[in-house]
Structure 1
C-alpha cells in the first residue's frame, strides 16, 4: 500500500509545522467480510440476511485522529483531524487535498479539538464545525469555497469545555435545522439543568439561534445526556443518538423533543417514568463505547471504540435484542461512521489517540459495503 503523506499544519504562536509519515513496512489488515452471529432483536422480523460488512478499500492510512465526516455531492469526503484542526478533502480512491487549518482550535484539549462537521444542505461551500477553543466548545460556520477555509464565524458559543465529555457531533434535519450534541464537561449536574448548554442535544437554525417551538424556549432540545458523539436520522425522520456511560451502561437512544435521558441520575434502563430508557444498551462500558452513528435501511451502525467493532442494531420493535458485531477486532477502535452518496459507509479508526497501541498504518479510513 502506498503511504499517504498528509500535510499536518498546526498553528502555534503563528508558526506552521509540517510533518510526514514513515514508509509502511508491514502488511495492513486484509480486506475481509464479517457476517453477524447471534440472536435477532426481540419483537422484530429478523433482518434477512443478517447485517454484514465488507471492506471495499482502505481509502487512506497514517492520518492523525480523523473525527468528523461529511460528503460533497460528487462523493468526496470532508474530514476533520481532531488534534491538528486540519480539514482534508478525500476522494474514494484516496487522493486528497488539505483545505487548511481551522483557526482558533485549542491545542491543549485532550479529547476536544476539531470534531463534528456538517455541510449546509444545498450549499457545498458552507461548512459547520464543532470545535474546542481556548475558552469553550463552540459551533462555527465557515466557507470552504475554492478549496480553502475563510469567513469563520462562531454561531454557538459558551458550551463548557473539559479534558473529556465534550460531545461534538452535528446533524441537519430535513428542515435545515442543526442538531448539536454536547457533553457534560465532567460536571454531571449540568446535564439536568435545562438552562445549560452542556449534557444536551441542541436544535438551532443556521445562525445558531433557538428554533421556534423548542421545548424550553432556548436552544435545548433534549437533556440528561452524559456525552453524545453520534447523531443520525432514520427513514421516518426520527433522531437517534449514541451515548457513553460512566462505568455501567452505554446507550443508543431515540431522541424526542423535551425528553430527559436520565444522566446523572441513571444509566441504562430504570423504573422512573421521568426518564427515557434506551432502545439498546451495553454493559459494562468497556464492551462498547459507541461513538459515531449512521442509519442505513433502518439499521443503526455504531463505531464502537472499546468494543473494537462496527455494531449493527436493527431499529424495529420497542427494544433492541442482540447486537451484531461486525469487523470485530480487525481494525481496533472505530470512531466515525458516515454514509457516502454512493451508498458506501466510511469508517475511521481511533488508535493513535493514546488508548490503544497503534498498528502499522494507523489511523486509517475505510469504505465499507453494508448493503450486501
Structure 2
C-alpha cells in the first residue's frame, strides 16, 4: 500500500480509520528547498463514496478543457487536434470547429475553455491556446460556430512544457487564467513576465479592479498550475505540478508568492505561501480540479487516480482520498456539471500514457 498524502501533523487517533483502505499517496525525500509537510488539520469525509464512473464519450484525443453552456451541454477542447467539441449529457458529440492559429507543441495546444457567465446575452466563449509565438487567450462569439475571434491577452510565454492553460470565471465575474513558467524557473518570480502566474482580468483582457500589481497578475511563484476551483465561500484553490518532491494544492491569496523555484512544498516561513496539501510527484501530477459535494476533486496524471480532498466549512483541507486508482489511466479534465455530476477526461494519448481501447474518453460520476 502506498503512503499517505502529506498533511499537517495530527494525532493518529484523529485520522478517520474508515478511509485508510481508500487512501493512496506517498512521499519522496524532499529536494533542496523543500521543507516539512503542509500544515493542515484533518477533516472528515461525509456522505457515501462516489459511484462508479460510466463512459459518456470514447475515442477522443487528449481532452483538455471542459466548460458548460447554460443548457447543460459541455464544450470540450482537444489539445493536439485543436478541435472544439460540443457534448450533450447523453453523450452526443458534434464538432464546433477547428480553432485557427493553434500550434500544438509538446504540452501546448488547445487548452482551456471558459463560457461567459452572461452567455445567454453575449454568446461569448474564451479559449486559451498555444500559437506560433506565444500562449494567448482569445474570445469568440459562439452560436452554431465560432466567429469574431478577438485576442484579449497575448504574449504569455510558451514552451514545450509548462504552459498552464486553465481558464475559469470566478464568482466575482472576472476571468482567471493559469500559466506555467515554460521550464524557465526564474520567470515564476518575475513580475514583469506573465509566466508562472495566476491571472485575473475583465472579459476584454484588462486588469480586473483590485488586482495587486496594477496588471493582470493575481498571484505568482507558480511552476505549472492546471486546476482552479472555488468553494461556496468564494475561496480559490489551485492545483500545481511540483518537480522532484511535492505536488500541491494551494489556497490562493491576492498578491501571494507561492515560492517556486525557491521552495517546493512547504517552506515554513513568512515570505512564501505554503500549500494546504502536498503529494509526492508519483502520486499526483494534479491537473483539472472541481469543487462538488464538500470536496475538491482533482485529476491525477502520473498518479492515474481521482483525488478527493474534503474541505471543512472554514476552508481547511482534510485527508485526501484516492478514487479509481489505476482504473482509467491518466486523468486530466475535471469539471462539475449542472445537476451535480462530475465529468472527467482521460489523457492517455498525450504521449506519456498508454492508450487503452476507447481512449481517450469522458467519464461521468456522482460525487
TM-score range normalised by the length of the shorter chain: 0.7 to 0.9
Residue 364 (str. 1) matches residue 358 (str. 2) = no
Taking structure 2 as the reference length, the TM-score comes to 0.87
Residue 233 (str. 1) matches residue 230 (str. 2) = yes
For residue 37 of structure 1, the aligned residue among 19, 22, 25 is: 22
For residue 96 of structure 1, report the CA deviation from its aligned partner.
1.4
For residue 263 of structure 1, the aligned residue among 255, 260, 264 is: 260
Higher relative contact order (CA closer than 8 Å, sequence separation 6+): 2
The SS at the match of 1:165 is coil
Q: Which consecutive residues of structure 2, in runs of 5 or more, have no partner in the other structure?
A: 1-18, 25-38
Give 1:1-372 correspondences, 5 Å limit: 37-38=22-23, 43-49=41-47, 51-55=49-53, 57-107=54-104, 109-124=105-120, 125-145=123-143, 147-283=144-280, 285-316=281-312, 320-370=317-367
Maintained 8 Å contact 1:345/1:369: yes
The SS at the match of 2:150 is strand
The SS at the match of 1:190 is helix
Maintained 8 Å contact 2:176/2:200: yes
For residue 315 of structure 1, report the CA deviation from its aligned partner.
1.9
The SS at the match of 2:238 is strand
Q: Which consecutive residues of structure 1, in runs of 5 or more, have no partner in the other structure?
A: 1-33
Taking structure 1 as the reference length, the TM-score comes to 0.86
Q: How many residues align?
A: 332
Distance 1:318 1:60, change over 3 A: closer
For residue 327 of structure 1, report the CA deviation from its aligned partner.
1.0
What is the rounded CA distance, in whole Å, between the counterparts of 1:151 and 1:169 in structure 2?
Answer: 22
What is the rounded CA distance, in whole Å, between the counterparts of 2:40 and 2:190 in structure 1?
Answer: 35
For residue 236 of structure 1, report the CA deviation from its aligned partner.
0.4
The SS at the match of 2:344 is strand
What is the rounded CA distance, in whole Å, between the counterparts of 2:109 and 2:45 in structure 1?
Answer: 38
Maintained 8 Å contact 1:36/1:326: no
For residue 48 of structure 1, report the CA deviation from its aligned partner.
2.3
Maintained 8 Å contact 1:181/1:229: yes
State the match for 1:19 in structure 2.
Answer: none
What is the rounded CA distance, in whole Å, between the counterparts of 2:119 and 2:311 in structure 1?
Answer: 31
The SS at the match of 2:258 is coil
For residue 43 of structure 1, report the CA deviation from its aligned partner.
3.4
Maintained 8 Å contact 2:311/2:318: no
The SS at the match of 1:161 is coil
For residue 245 of structure 1, report the CA deviation from its aligned partner.
0.4
What is the rounded CA distance, in whole Å, between the counterparts of 1:42 and 1:200 in structure 2?
Answer: 24
